[in-house]
A and B are shown apart, each in its own frame.
Chain A
Amino acid sequence: MSIEVRGVNKSFGAFKALDNISLDFPDGELVALLGPSGCGKTTLLRVIAGLERADSGQVLLDGEDATDRDVRQRQVGFVFQHYALFKHMTVFENIAFGLRVRPRRTRPSEKDIRAKVSRLLDLVQLGWVADRFPTQLSGGQRQRIALARALAVEPRVLLLDEPFGALDAKVRKELRRWLRQLHDELHISSIFVTHDQEEALEVSDKVILINKGRVEQFGTPWQIYNEPASAFAYGFIGAVNEFRGRVEGDFVRVGDDLLSLAGAKFQNGQDVVAFVRPHETEIVPDIGGGHGITAKVHRILGNGPVTRVELVANGESRKGETDFFEVEIPGTQLASLGIATGQRVKLTSRRISIFDQQNGNERP
C-alpha cells in the first residue's frame, strides 16, 4: 500500500518536531527513516500510524485521506522500540490478541486463530516458545514476537520504531538480515526508524535522511552514501574528512594550505566546508610544491587488505582541539608510498564535495 505524507507539521511546545514534511513512500518497499536522535523520525512514524496527531498536514494511505482516522482504523502494524509485549499473556496470546479483540462477526474461530498464530510463529521461527511469557524470552526473540503480533492483524503497512535499538551487536546483525529476508517474502510496505546509518544502508530499499524535523535527502542507499545532498548528509553518513576554509580563486584556503575546488564554482571569499571520504583521500609524501593540506602521520594501522593512516592536522581547529584525518589505502600501496610515523605529508583528493558553510547546499 502506498503511504503519502503532505505538509505535516508537529510541535511539542516550542520544539518543532516535524517541519512541513512531504513524502511519498514507494509501494511494497522497505524504507528507513534515518537521523540523529531528536530529529523527529519517531514522531513522523507515529503520525503515520495515527498514534500522534499532526498539527497540520495530511496522511494518505492508498490515496485515501487517513488524517482523521484513529490508529485502530488505519490497519497499520506498529512494532514498538521496547516491543510492548503484554507481560501477563503468553506468547501465543500476545499474537492472538489482535484477532481476539475483533467484533464477533469478523472474529475468526478458535481453530482458525490457533492455525494462524502457529503459522506466524513458524514465520518468525519461534514455534517452540508459544507457551512462554515475554519475560522468559531474550531481546531478539521478543522483537520477533512483537513483529509476529503486528503481522497477525494483516496490516497494510508495517511500521517499526528502532527495531534493533535495544539489542546487542551480534543479535542485531542477525535480525537485520532476517528482517530483510522477511520483507522479501511478504512484500508489505514497511518503514523503520533508525539512528544507525549502517543499519539503514544495509537493510533498506530507500533511505530518508531527516534532520531537525526536515527531510535532508531521499534516495537509495547508494545515493545516500555516494551522493550526499547536503553538508549534514555528508557528515552523518560514513567516515569523512572535513576541511573548513575560504574560497580563493580555484582553491579553498584552509589555514596556510590550499585545496583544489575541483571545478566547483564558488564566489571569492565565500566560507565553505569540503568533505572527502577516507578512501578517496590521497597521501602525497612530497610536501614541496603543489596544493594539498599538510598533516603529520600519527599512526599507521596496517591489518588486513586496507591500511588506515591516521594523521594530525597542522595547528589547531577552531574549537582548539587537534583535528584528525583518516586515509584508507590498499595495503599493497603502503610500501610504494614510503611513509613513516611522524612524517609530514600533503593530503589531496580524487573526489571532493564542497558546501557553503551557511546554508549547507552544494553549489555546482
Chain B
Amino acid sequence: MSHSKTHRVLPGFGLSLGFTLAYLSLIVLVPVSAVFIKTAGMTAEQFWTAVASPRVVASYKLTFGAALLAAAINCVFGLLLAWGITRYTFPGRKLVDALIDLPFALPTAVAGIALTAIYAKNGWLGQFLEPLGIKIAFGPPGVLVALVFIGLPFVVRTVQPVLEDLDAEFEEAAASLGATRWQAVTRIVFPTLLPALLTGFALAFARAVGEYGSVIFIAGNIPMVSEITPLMIITKLEQYDYQGATAIASVMLVISFLLLLTVNGLQSWAAKRTGRTY
C-alpha cells in the first residue's frame, strides 16, 4: 500500500479533533492536573497529615457514604417517579414533570436554607419529627436529605426516555407467554431499564460527592460528625493552607474517579450481558 492520505467522507477531522482536545485540556485537564501538581510539592509526611487526620477521614466517610446512600435512594424513588409520569396520565402530570427539574434550577444555597427551615427543630416537619426522636437538621441525616434532594432529577431524567421508548408490546408478549404482571416487570422491564438506572446512579452520586451549597446549611458542621469533605477543603483554604486543600481535593478526585470507573465497568458488563454493542 502507498502512503497516500486516507480520504474520509466527513471533512475537517484534524481540525475537530484538535479543537476537541484543546478545549478539553483547557476546561478540564489543566485545572485537574493543577491539583495534583500543587499536591506534588508536599512531602509524604505533610501529605499524610493533611489527608489522614481523623477529622478529614470522618468527612470522607460522611461524604462518600451519604452520597452512595443518597444515589441508591434516588434510584428507587426516581424510578418510581419516572414510572408514574410516563405510564399514567393524571391531572397535573405536566406540572409534576416540571417540578422534578426544580433541584436542577434552584440555587443550592436556597435549597439548603429551605431544607433547613423545614427540618429544623421548629420547622414544618422538624417540629413533628423532633418529639419522635428523629433529628434531621444539623446532623448526618440532614446531609443525606440534601443529597437526595439534589440528586433526584438525574435518575428521573435518565430513566424517563428509556421508559417512554419501552413499547407495551414487550409486556404484552410476556403476558401472552403466561408471565404475571410482577414477572413481566422484574424480568422484562427492570433489566431493560438497568443500564439507564446505573447511569442515573453515577450522575446522582457524582453530583452528591461535590455538593457544597445545600449541605452546608443543614449539616450543622460538627467536627468529626457532620462535616463534609468539600467543607474541609474550604476550611483549609480559609487558613491559607493551599497545599493541604489540594491534597484533600486530590484524594477526593481519586476516590470519585475509582467509583465512577466501577459504575462504568458495571454498565459495560450489563451491556455485554444483554448483547448491546455500545
Contacts and interface: CB of A to CB of B under 8 A. Distances in A.
A153 B173 contact: no
Interface string A75-107: 011101010101111100000011001100000
Interface stretch (A116-124, A129-137, A176-184, A218-226): A129-137
B256 to A, nearest CB: 29
Nearest to A51: B172
A246 interface: no
B25 interface: no
A129 to B, nearest CB: 12
B93 interface: no
Contacts of A98: 177-179
A303 to B, nearest CB: 41
A71 B180 contact: no
B177 A84 contact: no
Interface stretch (B120-128, B133-141, B187-195): B187-195
A97 B191 CA distance: 14
B170 A86 contact: yes
Interface in B156-198: 167, 169-170, 172-180, 183, 187-188, 191-192
Nearest to A75: B178
B178 A88 contact: no
Interface string A56-84: 00000000000000111000111010101
A70 B179 CA distance: 11
B173 to A, nearest CB: 4
Q: Give the one of A77, A82, A89, A152 with max B CB within 10 A.
A: A89
A147 interface: no
B266 to A, nearest CB: 15
A84 B276 contact: no
Given A80-B172, A88-B191, A101 B275 contact: no
B191 A72 contact: no
Contacts of A136: 275
Interface string A38-56: 0000000000010100000
Interface residues of A, number: 29
A84 B184 CA distance: 13
B183 to A, nearest CB: 5
A84 B170 contact: yes
B275 A49 contact: no
Contacts of A51: 172, 175-176
Contact of B177 (A70, A82, A97, A134): A97
Contacts of B275: 87-88, 90, 132-136
B92 to A, nearest CB: 23
Given A86-B170, A101-B187, A135-B276, A72 B175 contact: yes
Nearest to B182: A101
B185 to A, nearest CB: 12
B274 interface: yes
B178 A102 contact: yes
A301 B172 CA distance: 49
A101 B179 contact: yes
Given A72-B175, A86-B188, A135-B275, A80 B169 contact: yes
A244 interface: no
Given A87-B274, A135-B276, A149 B170 contact: no
Nearest to B184: A101
A90 B177 CA distance: 16
Contacts of A72: 175-176, 178-180
Given A101-B183, A132-B275, A76 B176 contact: yes
Contact of A101 (B180, B273, B277): B180
B263 to A, nearest CB: 19
A77 B170 contact: no
Contacts of B178: 72, 98, 101-102, 153
Nearest to A49: B176
Contact of A84 (B167, B183, B273, B274): B167
Nearest to A87: B274
Contacts of A134: 275
B216 to A, nearest CB: 42
Contact of A71 (B170, B175, B187, B273): B175
A239 B9 CA distance: 46
Q: Give the one of B173, B180, B183 with max A CB within 10 A.
A: B173
A201 B217 CA distance: 76
Interface string B224-265: 000000000000000000000000000000000000000000
A78 to B, nearest CB: 4
A223 to B, nearest CB: 32
A71 B179 contact: no
B176 A77 contact: yes
Given A88-B275, A133-B275, 5 more contacts: A72-B180, A84-B170, A87-B192, A97-B179, A153-B177
Interface of A: 49, 51, 70-72, 76-78, 80, 82, 84, 86-90, 97-98, 101-102, 132-136, 149-150, 152-153
Top-6 shortest CB links A-B: A133-B275, A98-B177, A88-B274, A84-B173, A101-B179, A84-B169
9 contacts: A80-B169, A87-B276, A88-B274, A98-B178, A133-B276, A135-B275, A149-B177, A150-B176, A153-B178
